[in-house]
């Protein structure tokens, strides 16, 4: 900065001495053009210095996180009450919108009954196992009796003391007893499988019923929409009597979060050569003519959509951009130093000047920022 000023002063002194003091040369139109041409190029040193050492953006915009309030209900539900107003500040956990709870309370009661029924059915399954075991014992006893009768009838028939038909009947009865025993054993296996069907020691029918109960309780809890954090409601599109809840692609209100707001400003890529996180920033907002706010560089978003290609089977055509197309820019995230962040509402716009560690041209940029801040009193003119 000092060197550039010294060069300009020396150049002006030389022009004055040569053409006006000693009049070594006549100050003609050609000499005037040459002198001005050289002088303008010397002034470019200040412009280049301000551009790279103290880059400025006129597209700075205040950004706040927003949460789209979308009902999380499985079916269209009547809105019974809207508990907040447009642009009303709320705290985290405050109720915002109330839906009709009755259908979901009934569903919870129904699922509670199913859980109780499932737990009782587990006892029934245990009893089925006991019954199947008793059937096996009874079938085994009957088979033993039939086998004894078969052996007795066969022995008597062999000695001629009994008929062959009686022996054959006893043999058939023994086979029926064996089949009955096998059937009883299969019933025990089936009953035991139903009883032993468990997840973490709980019967699957109970787990299934409890899962349905938890789902019903989840939807019952979501009949009231609560504030996810401190903020305020904007674009409230719901009133009592409206039916909502099933359409997922449309929010019924926008929730503006108070915390973590920031300023997003875009800069030409080459202007960010010396910009780093933590550097000082001065911001002038159209909301506050004549005021300057101190801020800090938080992050540099080094990337833009110009470098992104979507998956496609079509080969890209690489043509140079038209001369009138704006140069690609990168965004810089800036946070305000002021403790009261509520004075910076979402969408507020202004200019942001970053001061790098090269402070030679900082004074010129500070003057330019203040001129712009005071200019907000008049420009743009409401004509």
**One domain for residues 289 and 380:** yes
CA 223 to chain centre: 22
Residues in the chain: 383
Give the lowest-confidence range in 39-43, 200-204, 264-268: 39-43
Same domain as 240, residue 94: yes
Same domain, 41 and 96: no
42 and 159 fall within a common domain: no
State the chain's maximal CA–CA distance in angstroms.
165
Helix axes 102-158, 164-196, angle to 10 degrees: 160
Q: What rounded mean pLDDT belongs to the chain?
A: 80
Residue 204 included in any domain: no
* Structure tokens belonging to residue 99: 């839906």
What local confidence, expressed as pLDDT, does residue 192 receive?
Answer: 67
Q: Is 322 helix (H, G, I), strand (E, B) or coil?
A: coil
47 shares its domain with 80: no
Looking at the fold, whether 129 and 170 belong to one and the same domain comes out as yes
Claim to verify: residue 183 and residue 95 sit in the same structural domain: no
Question: Do 246 and 330 belong together in one domain?
Answer: no
Do the Cβ atoms of 251 and 69 come closer than 8 Å?
A: yes
The residue whose two tokens read 């009597």 is 241
Buried b (16+ CB within 10 A) or exposed e, 193-202: ebbeeeeeee
For 159-194, write each residue's pLDDT tens digit.
555 555 655 565 666 566 677 767 667 766 666 666
Q: Residue 28: which H helix or E strand, with range?
A: none
CATH number reported for the structural domain that contains residue 350 in this entry: 2.40.30.170
Is 106 within a domain? Answer: no
Q: Is residue 287 a part of any domain in this protein?
A: yes
What is the DSSP-derived secondary structure letter of residue 269? G
Residues 232 and 378 in one domain: no
Lowest-confidence range among 116-130, 198-212, 303-317?
116-130
State the total domains in the chain: 4
Residue 383 lies inside a defined structural domain of this protein: yes
Is 172 a domain residue?
yes
Task: Reduce the DSSP state of residue 320 to 3 states and report it.
Answer: coil
Q: Are 382 and 265 in the same domain? A: yes
Q: Are strands 243-244 and 89-90 parallel, antiparallel or unpaired?
A: unpaired
In a domain, 91, yes or no: yes
Q: Is residue 265 part of a domain?
A: yes
pLDDT beyond 90 at 281: yes
Residue at 70 is within a domain: yes
- Kindly state whether residues 281 and 297 are assigned to the same domain: yes
- Rounded Cα gap, residues 213 and 92, in angstroms: 27
- DSSP structure class, residue 260: T
Q: How far is CA 173 from CA 132, 136, 139, 179, 240, in A?
A: 22, 17, 12, 10, 77
- Collapsed DSSP state (helix, strand, coil) of residue 283: strand
How much is the pLDDT for 153? 55
Q: Are residues 132 and 165 in the same domain?
A: yes
Is the bond preceding 380 in cis, omega lying within 30 degrees of 0?
A: yes
pLDDT digits (tens, 9 = 90+) for 337-362: 999 999 999 999 999 999 998 877 78
With a CB cutoff of 8 Å and minimum separation 6, the contacts of 30 are: none
Q: What is the pLDDT of residues 1-36, one digit of tens each?
A: 444 555 556 656 666 566 666 667 676 777 566 667
**283 with 343: CB under 8 angstroms?**
no
Q: Which residue has the tokens 């560690």?
A: 357
CA angle 272, 274, 280 (to 5 degrees): 90
Which domain, by its residues, includes 95? 66-100+223-257
């Amino acid at each position: 900065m000092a060197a550039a000023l010294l060069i300009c002063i020396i150049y002006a002194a030389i022009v004055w001495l040569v053409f006006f003091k000693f009049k070594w040369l006549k100050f003609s139109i050609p000499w005037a053009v040459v002198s001005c041409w050289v002088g303008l190029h010397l002034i470019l040193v200040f412009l280049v210095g301000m551009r790279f050492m103290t880059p400025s953006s006129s597209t700075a915009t205040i950004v706040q996180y927003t949460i789209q309030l979308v009902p999380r209900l499985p079916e269209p539900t009547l809105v019974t009450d809207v508990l907040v107003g447009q642009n009303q500040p709320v705290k985290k956990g405050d109720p915002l919108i109330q839906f009709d709870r009755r259908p979901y309370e009934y569903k919870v009661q129904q699922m509670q009954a199913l859980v109780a029924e499932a737990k009782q059915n587990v006892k029934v399954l245990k009893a089925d196992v006991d019954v199947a075991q008793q059937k096996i014992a009874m079938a085994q006893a009957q088979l033993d009796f039939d086998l004894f009768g078969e052996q007795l009838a066969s022995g008597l028939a062999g000695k001629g003391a009994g008929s062959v038909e009686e022996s054959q009947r006893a043999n058939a009865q023994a086979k029926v007893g064996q089949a009955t025993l096998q059937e009883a054993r299969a019933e025990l296996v089936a009953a035991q499988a139903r009883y032993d069907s468990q997840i973490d020691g709980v019967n699957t029918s109970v787990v299934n019923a409890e899962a349905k109960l938890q789902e019903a309780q989840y939807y019952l809890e979501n009949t009231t929409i609560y504030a996810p954090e401190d903020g305020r409601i904007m674009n409230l599109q719901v009133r009592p009597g409206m039916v909502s809840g099933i359409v997922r692609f449309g929010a019924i209100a926008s929730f503006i979060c108070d915390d973590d707001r920031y300023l997003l400003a875009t800069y030409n890529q080459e202007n960010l050569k010396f910009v780093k996180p933590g550097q000082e920033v001065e911001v002038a907002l159209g909301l506050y003519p004549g005021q300057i706010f101190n801020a800090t560089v938080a992050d540099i978003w080094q990337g833009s959509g110009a470098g992104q290609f979507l998956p496609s089977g079509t080969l890209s055509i690489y043509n140079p951009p038209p001369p009138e197309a704006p140069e690609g820019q990168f965004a810089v995230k800036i946070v305000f130093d002021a403790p009261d962040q509520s004075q910076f509402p979402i969408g507020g716009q202004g200019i942001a000047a970053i001061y790098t560690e090269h402070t030679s041209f900082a004074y010129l940029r500070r003057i330019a920022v203040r001129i712009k801040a005071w200019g907000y009193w008049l420009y743009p003119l409401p004509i």
